[in-house]
Amino acid sequence: MNIKHSPKSLADAPLGKTSENPNAYSPEILFPIPRSENRQTLGLADSTKLPFFGVDIWNAYEISWLGMTGKPEVAIAQIQTPAESPFIFESKSLKLYLNSLNHSRFASIEEVQSIIAEDLSKAAGAKVSVKLSGPELWPKLKFKEFEGKLLDRLNLEIDPNLGPDKSWLSAKEDESPVEETLISNLLRSNCPVTGQPDWASVQIHYVGPEINEEGLLRYLIAFRQHQEFHEHCVEKIFCDIKAMCKPSKLSVYARYTRRGGIDINPFRTDFNAPWPENTRQARQ
């Protein structure tokens, strides 16, 4: 899908500004943000040669529209945007767009699902999948925490005002390779527009030289003052681990807590790793 968007500055996005809720269906509210700007800072200028593939999983919990009789309907949306899409959508613009459905009438949940998928695909410049779950499916929703070796058990001293320094990352390159999964619940980054904190748990699975756990935890904690979107943070973590620890296989998955009724969960991998199940965690 080859979609061209007029260049826009992030300063023009609705995030961080007072916004009126739309009272009619308004797909033009969606604000695309190019992935390329952040990827260039990671040395990924050529979007056709990314060192990873993956998906951004968005869950939107405040979906509502009107049935043909005017009676409101509600649902939870699961939105999956491929990592190779040229654009992401700014989160507040997505919220406003979804709110614009509140006063419009649709014949079925399938029609709403199809319209959202079409609009988001145009904004992202790639096929976006959307699944709406009505209340009859909510009892089937489950919670599950990340599985793996918890880094947070380690005691260390760190200046929480330092930014993430990839030189803290290292691995035992002179020893036999290992395969393991490391997790932490201490990832916190900040919105680059509002400065508000974004909280997440992160799971790192790799095959290769054994990663120094203390250095990795120090690196993850140092995102505490880092200002970047969720997707960009995960891609930075992926690229820095790949560069400094040299695993032959690597996947990074972060599940962020929701803001504005939406949570965003980026996944990046360079091998045929199991695809995320999108199971909610306790903090979500």
Q: Is the pTM of this model over 0.85?
A: yes
The answer to whether residue 88 scores a pLDDT higher than 90 is yes
Mean pLDDT along residues 79-83: 98
Tokens of 143: 């919670």
Q: What residues are annotated to the active site?
A: 191, 198
- Band the pLDDT of 14: cuts 50, 70, 90: low
Task: For helices 109-124 and 91-99, give the axis angle rounded to 10 degrees.
Answer: 150
What per-residue confidence (pLDDT) applies to 168?
96
Domains and CATH numbers, the chain: 10-140 (3.30.1130.10), 149-269 (3.30.1130.10)
pLDDT the model gives residue 32: 96
Alpha carbon distance 162, 221 (integer Å):
9
Query: What pLDDT does 158 receive?
Result: 87
Q: What's the pLDDT score for residue 250?
A: 98
Q: What is the pLDDT of residue 10?
A: 52
Beta-carbon-side half-sphere exposure of residue 156 (alpha carbons within 13 Å): 17
**Would you say 280 and 133 are in contact if contact means Cβ atoms under 8 Å apart?**
no
CA distance 218 to 165: 9
Whether residue 7 has pLDDT greater than 70: no
The larger pLDDT score, comparing residue 45 to residue 115, is at 115
The DSSP 8-state label assigned to residue 214 in this structure reads H
Q: What is the pLDDT of residue 160?
A: 73
| pLDDT computed for residue 48 by the predictor | 79
Window from 5-9, 61-65, 201-205, 269-273 with minimum mean pLDDT: 5-9
pLDDT at 161: 81
Residue 193: band (very low, low, confident or very high) from pLDDT cuts 50, 70, 90: confident
SS3 111: helix
Average pLDDT over residues 45-67: 94
Q: What is the pLDDT of residues 234-251, one digit of tens each?
A: 999 999 999 999 999 999
| Confidence band, pLDDT 50/70/90 cuts, at residue 18 | low
Q: Which residues contact 201 (CB under 8 A, 6 or more apart)?
A: 145, 146, 183, 184, 185, 187, 254, 255, 281, 283
Percent of the chain beyond pLDDT 90? 85
> SS3 for 175?
coil
- Write down the mean pLDDT value for the chain: 92
Residue 226 banded pLDDT, cuts 50, 70, 90: very high
How far is it, in rounded angstroms, from Cα 149 to Cα 185?
Answer: 11
In single-letter form, the type of residue at position 134 comes to G
Query: What does the pLDDT look like over 118-156, one tens digit per residue?
Result: 999 999 999 999 999 999 999 999 999 999 999 999 999
Percent helix / strand / coil, the chain, rounded to 5: 30, 30, 40
Pick the more confident residue, 13 or 265: 265
Please report which confidence band the pLDDT of residue 5 belongs to, taking 50, 70 and 90 as the band edges. Answer: low
Task: Round to whole Å and give the CA distance between 92 and 114.
Answer: 21
Least confident window among 152-166, 172-186, 253-267: 152-166
